[in-house]
Copies of this chain bind each other. A is one copy, B any other.
Amino acid sequence: MSSNQITNNIRKLRFENDEMTQQKLADKAGVTRQTIIAIEAGKYSPSLTLAFKIADAFGVPIEDVFQYQQQDLKTNNESES
């Protein structure tokens, strides 16, 4: 239940950052490689703390790494573009 509403660009960012390995990212973020694998694969979403650490590892804001797919909180009409 409550499947994951968060997508991410971790794989893309790893390759853009000198092909950083999952292990290297795990070290930088202070978690295990398994955690990186699971999050990168979208199996579950990280804690906010880990999200900050991963974003820091790439030197970008959280929003550049993770995107929240809001399904329907309510009809929040914000037509942009």
Give me the interface of A with B, judged by CB distance under 8 Å: 4-6, 23-24, 27-28, 30, 45-53, 56, 61-63, 66, 68, 70, 73-74, 76, 78-79
Contacts and interface: CB of A to CB of B under 8 A. Distances in A.
A28 to B, nearest CB: 5
This chain's copy number in the assembly? 2
A66 B48 contact: yes
Mostly helix, strand, loop or mixed at chain A's interface?
A: mixed
Contacts of A51: 48, 51
Contacts of A23: 79
A26 to B, nearest CB: 10
A50 B68 CA distance: 10
Nearest to A61: B63
